Amino acid sequence: MPAQPADSRWFLPLSVRQLVQRLRTWPPSGPRWTLRSSAWILFLALGVAMTVGYFLLPTADAMDLYYQLPGMVAVVAILLGIRLHRPSDARPWVALASGLTLSSLGDWTSVLLSRLGINPFPSVADVFYLGGMLVVVVAIVWLARGRIPGGDRASLLDALIVAVGVALLTWVFLMAPIVSDTTQSLLEIAVALAYPAIDILLLGIMVRLILAPGSHVMAVRLLIGALVAFLLADYPYAFLSLSGGYYNGNIIDAGWMIGAVLWGAAALHPSMARIAEPVQPAEVHFGIWRLGLLAGASLMAPAVLVIEALTGGRIDVPVVATGCVVLFLLVIARLDSVVGQLRTTLDQRRLLETELERRALHDPLTGLANRVLFHDRLEHALCRREGNVAVMFIDLDDFKTVNDAHGHAAGDRVLTAVAESFRSSLRPGDTVARLGGDEFAILLAESPDRYEAGVVAGRLLRAAQVPVNVGGFVYSIGASIGISLAGTASSVDAASALADDLMRDADIAMYVAKGQGKGTFIVFEATEHKEVVRGIELRTDLETAISEEQFELEYQPIIDLESGVVAGVEALVRWRHPTLGLLAPAEFIPLAETTGAIVPLGRWILSQACRHAVAMVPAVKSVTSKGVTTLALPQPEEPEGPYVSVNLSAVQIADPGFADTATEILAASGLAPGRLVLELTETARLDHIAAGTAIHDLRAMGVRLAIDDFGTGFASLSQLRRTPFDILKIDRSFVTAVATDARDEAVVTGILDLARRLEVEVVAEGIEDGVQLARLRAAGCGFGQGFHFAEPMRLPELRTFLREHAGVTDPGFRVRARARRGSLVPDA
Ligand code: C2E
Ligand code: CA
Ligand code: CA
């Protein structure tokens, strides 16, 4: 059957099943919310009207019957409330309804018995009534259990103090007279006492609810209201009935009736579903109300004495004394709870303070001191009267690889392990701090000298290597340490400045240690300072320099010493630094080698040099079919013009992709491989496998290999035999002395001899004058370069130079290119 549109079904006759279905799901959710949210207020209005109606009744009989009405309506309201608001636990509400029903039943029974001429007191009516009230007590405690947290000892004590105070009054003026009434049987007395006893119980609960910290939802306020109204009726009733002054239709009946109406209203209020939700525990404040209530309650005993004295009543010493003692003890307990509360507040505050302080001064990952705390301790140490202070900067070697390969969690594990290892290898007086990342700092406060600091550094280097298992790999991390030492400072201000200096110096020393191969420590030397600071600055600048093309090449001609012809040019790189000016390779090449920047830089140099080499030779003009003039590139098969000699770093040639890169660059430039020479210093370990194959591949293409700075490195002659090469460059140091030192001359002669036998060419470097040139020529040296011929120059100047000296046959010539070496001398 197709579903009916929602709107149309009201117009269709309902089947019985549909009717049942509709009733089962009543109340419908949605548009009927107004009833749900306002039922309680309607009911309250109805209740007040009923109460007013009661007093308008003409006869006591009518009143007797009518009186039961609000109570019964309240029971219905409670059941309706459960249905409307569906509390997660309806049982306490059902209990409340049952309690009210029972007490109502008690009232009915009492009325009935009276009608039948039977004295209803004591009778089954009292059983119903008292039982009902007990159930109501249970229901309220059950309902409000979330509102009166067990931990709130203060409010419980307050309620007890009030209850005991009232109980004292009740006993003296209400219960004692009942007990002393000799006309009553024991059962009658017991039943009569049960009523005020329950009142005291209800009063205690009421006070407990009122004093509970936090704000109350409306349903709870209505419940409290019901209790207040009920007690406002019940207490006067008890006194009145004692003196026989109660009659039906007394104004106090209104209290009972309004009370009943409020029970029902509480259940009809939407917040009744949330009544059991625990409230946020709030601090109990001593408001004026609470203080007044407590003072009044605890002064009940003297009040009783005064009243008795004034009215001439008999003073019940044991009872008043007991009440006095109990109240006193409760007040003491309350004081204790106040003190306890204060103490916990103070404790919490102190805990919070230390925690905040700890967080501000410690590294969250390792729990070590942070930079702030470290600096503070350092200053303190420097303010001492005597002795040395040592600061160490530790940077873990290759920590990045752990992070990159296994993620940050693994990195964190390594850091924590290393931190712990550092901590345990130091004395208690020393401070270990984590400055951030993989940087640590250590303060040795017990006056160490250089030697002792070195011993500790050695221990820390070993400590850093603590093995850490990361995803199946056992990592053992190295470290580099920089140490700075100082005596104590003369003043507090001086200490602060000195602390800064010490930390900077240790940082610099650490950089030096890193540069000198990792896994070592270095003690700071003031002389290194300037140089190293510049190195550190340059290191960061290097990264941008490549992309911003701050480098440029110069070329120094290499002369055939027999003919004077320019056989080749050596490419030499310079860095036009934006602030420092033109920098010589010695200032940044070693740095670029340590950071790895040499690989992209070297690539740039090679491609630039190859393209320039093509452009060096006089261009041949040709006209294409479209009539555009272009440069005709020299044919790769027939090398033409001087070769270009490019310096390589060992780092570059060890890079596995080097041979491919070089081949690509050559192809892209159009340079004949025969016009390219690669210079490697003798110290570069050519036995590296990648280097070996790269050299083999490139030589197979026709690229030649030169051994640079020959004579200064460590290569033995036998090692030299194993390495295939084509050119040998004699280091400038031999050339300089060739004319003055007989031994150097012998070395040069020996090298030339060796070269002849190995069938390689020789280039003498750094020829500065004609005497040196003459000696080298006499000894049979084939090629030379040096300031005697030309200084390194930019491409345009080189082209002029080449044009002017094409076909020169006088080997004694000397041309000086525009002097620029001045700019290359590093600042002193
Ligand atoms: P090197 O390969 O021995 O280069 C020769 C150096 O000696 C050059 O210094 C050159 O200017 C200088 N020189 C040439 N003739 C004379 C002379 O008659 N007297 C004196 N006193 N010096 C002369 P430069 O340009 O400062 O280069 C220094 C070193 O930097 C080079 O030594 C080379 O090892 C390295 N280098 C230069 N350019 C590069 C490059 O592009 N890549 C790499 N990896 N290293 C380079
Ligand atoms: Ca060179
Ligand atoms: Ca050289």
Residue 378 confidence class, pLDDT cut points 50, 70, 90: very high
Separation of 765 CA from ligand 3 center, angstroms? 6
Q: Where do we find the tokens 């030379």?
A: 784
Instruction: Give the pLDDT score at 633.
Output: 47
DSSP for 229-267, written as a single string:
HHHHHHHHHHHHHHHT---TT-THHHHHHHHHHHHHHHH
Ligand 1 atom with least separation from CA of 792: 11
Residues 482, 486, 492, 496, Cα dihedral to 10°: -20
Ligand 1 atom with least separation from CA of 821: 11
Residue of 550, 572, 729 best suited for mutating to test ligand 1, as the one with most atoms within 8 Å of CB: 572
pLDDT tens-place string over residues 550-588? 999 999 999 999 888 899 999 999 999 998 889 999 989
Residue of 558, 647, 709 best suited for mutating to test ligand 1, as the one with most atoms within 8 Å of CB: 647
Instruction: Give the pLDDT score at 28.
Output: 56
Residue 710 confidence class, pLDDT cut points 50, 70, 90: confident
Separation of 637 CA from ligand 2 center, angstroms? 26
Asked if 209 contacts 137 with a C-beta cutoff of 8 angstroms, the reply is no
CA-nearest residue, atom 33 of ligand 1: 647
Ligand 1 atom with least separation from CA of 648: 44
Residue 19 confidence class, pLDDT cut points 50, 70, 90: low
CA-nearest residue, atom 30 of ligand 1: 585
Residue 443 confidence class, pLDDT cut points 50, 70, 90: very high
Separation of 707 CA from ligand 2 center, angstroms? 9
Residue 756: how many CA atoms within 13 Å on its side-chain side?
A: 10
pLDDT tens-place string over residues 740-785? 888 888 888 988 998 898 899 999 999 999 999 999 999 999 999 9
CA-nearest residue, atom 37 of ligand 1: 572
Residue 545 confidence class, pLDDT cut points 50, 70, 90: very high
Highest mean pLDDT among 258-262, 317-321, 716-720: 258-262
CA-nearest residue, atom 22 of ligand 1: 766
pLDDT tens-place string over residues 108-118? 998 899 889 88
3-state secondary structure of 646: strand
**Taking CB atoms and a 6 Å cutoff, what residues make up the pocket around ligand 1?**
556, 571-573, 584-586, 589, 605, 647-649, 708-709, 732, 765-766, 768, 785-787, 792
Check pLDDT > 70 for residue 26: no
Separation of 786 CA from ligand 1 center, angstroms? 10
Ligand approaching nearest to the C-alpha of 585: 1
Separation of 729 CA from ligand 2 center, angstroms? 8
CA-nearest residue, atom 25 of ligand 1: 572
Tokens of 783: 């090629």
Ligand 1 atom with least separation from CA of 585: 30
Give percent of the chain above pLDDT 70: 86
Check pLDDT > 50 for residue 627: no
CA-nearest residue, atom 21 of ligand 1: 766
Check pLDDT > 70 for residue 688: no
Check pLDDT > 70 for residue 660: yes
Q: How many residues does the chain have?
A: 828
Residue 631 confidence class, pLDDT cut points 50, 70, 90: very low
CA-nearest residue, atom 13 of ligand 1: 766
Instruction: Give the pLDDT score at 83.
Output: 93
Separation of 679 CA from ligand 1 center, angstroms? 11
Mean pLDDT of 176-188: 88
DSSP for 587-612, written as a single string:
HHHHHHHHHTTHHHHHHHHHHHHHHH
**φ, ψ for residue 536 (rounded to 5)?**
-65, -40
Ligand approaching nearest to the C-alpha of 713: 3
Residue 785: Cβ within 10 Å count: 26
Instruction: Give the pLDDT score at 6.
Output: 37
Mean pLDDT of 710-738: 79
Separation of 791 CA from ligand 3 center, angstroms? 14
Check pLDDT > 70 for residue 644: yes
What are 186-190's contacts with CB under 8 Å, separation 24+?
187/122, 188/121, 188/122
Residue 589 confidence class, pLDDT cut points 50, 70, 90: very high
**φ, ψ for residue 566 (rounded to 5)?**
-75, 110
Instruction: Give the pLDDT score at 535.
Output: 73
Asked if 418 contacts 515 with a C-beta cutoff of 8 angstroms, the reply is no
Separation of 571 CA from ligand 1 center, angstroms? 9
Which string of b and e fits 601-633 if b means at least 16 CB within 10 Å?
bbbbbbbbbbbbbbbbbeeeeeeeeeeeeeeee
Which of the two residues, 537 and 224, has the higher pLDDT score? Answer: 224
Residue 22 confidence class, pLDDT cut points 50, 70, 90: low
CA-nearest residue, atom 45 of ligand 1: 647
CA distances from 610 to 325, 374, 576, 606, 671 (A): 108, 54, 21, 6, 6
Check pLDDT > 70 for residue 27: no
Check pLDDT > 50 for residue 625: no
Tokens of 525: 């030397």
Q: What is the pTM of this model?
A: 0.47
Separation of 571 CA from ligand 2 center, angstroms? 8
Check pLDDT > 80 for residue 152: no
Tokens of 374: 């470290």
Check pLDDT > 80 for residue 534: no
pLDDT tens-place string over residues 247-262? 878 889 999 999 999 9
CA-nearest residue, atom 42 of ligand 1: 647
CA gap 298, 301 in Å, rounded: 7
Q: Is the peptide bond before 92 cis (omega within 30 degrees of 0)?
A: no
Check pLDDT > 60 for residue 814: no
Which of the two residues, 374 and 470, has the higher pLDDT score? Answer: 374
Mean pLDDT of 680-695: 67
Separation of 679 CA from ligand 2 center, angstroms? 6
Mean pLDDT of 93-110: 93
Separation of 709 CA from ligand 3 center, angstroms? 4
CA gap 555, 58 in Å, rounded: 129
CA-nearest residue, atom 3 of ligand 1: 709
CA-nearest residue, atom 8 of ligand 1: 572
Least confident span in 35-49, 189-203, 521-535: 521-535
Mean pLDDT score across all residues of the chain: 84
Check pLDDT > 90 for residue 391: yes
Instruction: Give the pLDDT score at 620.
Output: 43
Separation of 765 CA from ligand 2 center, angstroms? 9
Separation of 665 CA from ligand 1 center, angstroms? 23
Ligand approaching nearest to the C-alpha of 558: 1
Nearest Cα neighbor of 177 from 296, 299, 294, 311 is 311
CA gap 438, 422 in Å, rounded: 13
DSSP for 690-710, written as a single string:
HHHHHHHHHHHHT-EEEEEEE
Ligand 1 atom with least separation from CA of 709: 3
Nearest Cα neighbor of 725 from 682, 675, 673 is 682
Mean pLDDT of 647-670: 91
CA gap 754, 319 in Å, rounded: 127
Which of the two residues, 681 and 768, has the higher pLDDT score? Answer: 768
Instruction: Name 10's Cβ contacts closer than 8 Å, sequence gap at least 6.
Output: none
Check pLDDT > 60 for residue 727: yes
Instruction: Give the pLDDT score at 111.
Output: 87
